[in-house]
Chains A and B, each alone.
Chain A
Amino acid sequence: MTPSHSLVAENLSAGYGDSVILNGLDLEVPPGKITAIVGANGCGKSTLLRTMSRLLPATQGRVLLNGKSVHRSPTRELARKLGLLPQSPIAPEGITVADLVSRGRHPHHGLMSRWTRHDDEAVAQALEVTKTADLSERAVDELSGGQRQRVWIAMALAQETELLLLDEPTTFLDVSHQIEVLDLLTDLNHSRGITIVMVLHDLNLAARYADCLVAMANGRLHAYGNPEDVMTEANVETVFGLRSRVIPDPVSGKPLVLPIGRHRLSGL
């Protein structure tokens, strides 16, 4: 499957008030692939996702979705093509899983339009692929962190966009739930050709699951490309200020980062 969509940031600057966070950044999201963004806290990862999905205006440069500026596109039309799962979404008190997921259909409805069969099918499918169908009548606020995260992903899936940006989809999850979410996203990428861009904090999982790795520092791209080329000891040192060893991951063959702190070291 060759996806027909593209998402490109050109010379992009953005920030909050007077403080400039993104500073002339260029990024071409590879269509049909999984891209992972890594970087230190506060380096501007969320800001980049928010600007690329026009939640934040660009002070300079532009973001093009299929060649059209996202900041100039009608917001509802854009929301049918580009989905974003923010870092901390809020579940309304007591809302059920099915109800929350069905809100992903919002951009497909105008003031007067009625709910259709297709809407129900999109919601049903989103619940099924995320394995939340059994939870559909449960209240979201009484789910575990991993279940809740899958529900939010289901909501974004019900939106039926070709591109999906996810801000830290695995935060607060234990290791098995992290793997579960990343496997799910990979499945979606493989089966539906959805382009995925996600912010991850676990470097090893980022290197393992991403086709393309983006390392950010100070509002710029420090490195970009294959995980093997990006996840080097030198890059880890500049991006995170951390010494490390990088060895091949015996499980995946991808780079495995072993951080070097001041204690508990042997045989170096």
Chain B
Amino acid sequence: MTTISFAYTVAAGRLARVRQWRRVVVALMLLVLAGFALTLMLGQSFTPPDEVLRVLAGKDVPGASFTVGQLRLPRAVMAVLVGMCFGMGGVAFQIMLRNPLASPDIIGVSSGASAAAVFCVVVLSMDGAAVAGISVVAGLAVALIVYGLSFRNGVAGTRLILVGIGVAAMIDSFIAFVLSRAPSWDLQEALRWITGSVNGVKLDQALPVLVALAVFGGLLLSRTRDLEALRMGDDTAAALGVRVGTTRIVVMLASVGMIAVATAATGPVMFVAFLSGPIAARILGPKGSLLIPSALVGAVLVLGGDYIGQFVLPHRYPVGVVTGALGAPYLLYLIIRVNRAGGSL
């Protein structure tokens, strides 16, 4: 076989990988769409699709306008947006640090953003974009602290994770402390900041999350190739022309940014950032970038978790309780496996 004809074989293999990536992404998009539609139709009562569409078109439909337009729509929109933020930001961290345990919700970044948000909302009675901004700053600060504390001639993954888990535990107890001293003690509110919840969200709260997803998500997507190269080790990536330090900073800023803004809106929906990447990797296989597939898996997790929490279980639970119950066994499994071999993503 000549090199030229073998080049066609190589090209065919590459195109097959691209096509498979597209197929997976389209399938996940359909799944998100289906979840979104079901969230709009199902609830205490069933709303038929034509009524849902009329509400979405801005018509006044007796009965449905309130349940669909005021209750279900904001909930579904928020679930999709925060799910995508958690999914994409989480997998970017996991890829950058080459460890599935290095997810922002394990190493304290989400806790930091949540603590800032809970302090602003419960103690200072703030709301809106200011809370999101302060959460981003707090999330970044925690990321830097964890990074700094685990720095010793470079950052070893395991050390960073252990430091991160410790920092997360400290911050979580701070959250509990703030909530216990809050004048307007409210179980729903408390659960939001501890496990994450989309209960009672309003449509205008989704705007900052949408902006964060567009800006920070775009930034991450622009680094797709560099992130892929980082999976082969820092030295290999640098030898291939990746500016490792700059890429790290951009990826960290962007992931923390989108996760913190989402956390300020719904609280840290438990383990969605942690689970989405590995689930997407399992579905996709090694066929290309995980950023978009993982974002879509995140949206499915939050939509599905919220539906289960509301209507499938005997009592109503916020979405974070459901995703938390999903994530905990996987966390245990990973810790056992990493103890044995030192896993990577």
Q: Do A and B come from one complex?
A: yes
Q: Which A positions have Cβ atoms within 8 angstroms of B?
A: 16-17, 50, 53-55, 75-80, 83-86, 88-96, 98-100, 102-104, 106-107, 109, 111, 115, 117, 120-121, 123-125, 127-128, 133, 136-137, 139, 159
Q: How far is the CB of B344 from chain A (nearest CB, A)?
A: 7
| Residues of chain B with a CB closer than 8 A to A106's CB | 225, 229, 240-242
* Interchain CB contact under 8 A, B6 and A127: yes
Q: How far is the CB of A78 from chain B (nearest CB, A)?
A: 7
Contact count band on B = 35 or more
Residue of A94, A120, A125, A137 touching B11 (CB-CB under 8 A): A120
Q: How far is the CB of B329 from chain A (nearest CB, A)?
A: 21
Q: Which B positions have Cβ atoms within 8 angstroms of A?
A: 1, 3-4, 6-11, 13-14, 17, 98, 153, 222, 225, 228-229, 231-236, 238-243, 281, 285-286, 344-345
* Interchain CB contact under 8 A, B13 and A137: yes
| Residues of chain B with a CB closer than 8 A to A133's CB | 1, 6
* Interchain CB contact under 8 A, A125 and B236: no
* Interchain CB contact under 8 A, B10 and A98: yes
Residue of A17, A50, A121 touching B235 (CB-CB under 8 A): A50
- Compute how far the CA of A8 lies from the CA of B242 in the bound complex, rounded to whole angstroms: 23
* Interchain CB contact under 8 A, A89 and B232: yes
* Interchain CB contact under 8 A, A124 and B3: yes
Contact A55-B240, Cβ < 8 Å, known A102-B14, A125-B3: no
- Compute how far the CA of A76 lies from the CA of B225 in the bound complex, rounded to whole angstroms: 13
| Residues of chain B with a CB closer than 8 A to A84's CB | 235, 239
| Residues of chain A with a CB closer than 8 A to B8's CB | 120
Residue of A88, A90, A123 touching B98 (CB-CB under 8 A): A90
- Compute how far the CA of A89 lies from the CA of B238 in the bound complex, rounded to whole angstroms: 11
Q: List 23 A-B contacts (CB under 8 A).
A: A17-B153, A75-B238, A75-B241, A75-B242, A79-B241, A84-B235, A88-B233, A90-B232, A92-B344, A96-B13, A102-B14, A103-B228, A106-B225, A109-B225, A120-B8, A120-B10, A120-B14, A123-B10, A124-B3, A124-B4, A124-B7, A127-B10, A128-B3
Residue of B6, B238, B240, B344 touching A159 (CB-CB under 8 A): B240
* Interchain CB contact under 8 A, A94 and B241: no
| Residues of chain B with a CB closer than 8 A to A86's CB | 233, 235-236, 239
Q: Which 7 A-B pairs have the closest CB atoms?
A: A79-B241, A107-B241, A86-B235, A76-B241, A84-B239, A94-B286, A124-B7
* Interchain CB contact under 8 A, B238 and A90: no
* Interchain CB contact under 8 A, B239 and A96: no
* Interchain CB contact under 8 A, A120 and B238: no
Closest to A94 in B: B286
Residue of A111, A115, A139 touching B222 (CB-CB under 8 A): A111
| Residues of chain B with a CB closer than 8 A to A80's CB | 241
| Residues of chain B with a CB closer than 8 A to A76's CB | 241
- Compute how far the CA of A159 lies from the CA of B239 in the bound complex, rounded to whole angstroms: 10
* Interchain CB contact under 8 A, A93 and B345: yes
| Residues of chain A with a CB closer than 8 A to B1's CB | 133
Residue of A75, A89, A124 touching B236 (CB-CB under 8 A): A89
| Residues of chain B with a CB closer than 8 A to A79's CB | 239-241
| Residues of chain B with a CB closer than 8 A to A120's CB | 7-8, 10-11, 14
- Compute how far the CA of A187 lies from the CA of B17 in the bound complex, rounded to whole angstroms: 32
Residue of A54, A111, A121 touching B4 (CB-CB under 8 A): A121
- Compute how far the CA of A102 lies from the CA of B239 in the bound complex, rounded to whole angstroms: 14
Q: How far is the CB of B13 from chain A (nearest CB, A)?
A: 5
Closest to A137 in B: B13
- Compute how far the CA of A50 lies from the CA of B153 in the bound complex, rounded to whole angstroms: 15
- Compute how far the CA of A71 lies from the CA of B285 in the bound complex, rounded to whole angstroms: 37
Closest to A140 in B: B286
Q: How far is the CB of A174 from chain B (nearest CB, A)?
A: 24
* Interchain CB contact under 8 A, B286 and A92: yes
| Residues of chain B with a CB closer than 8 A to A125's CB | 3, 7
| Residues of chain A with a CB closer than 8 A to B14's CB | 98-99, 102, 115, 120
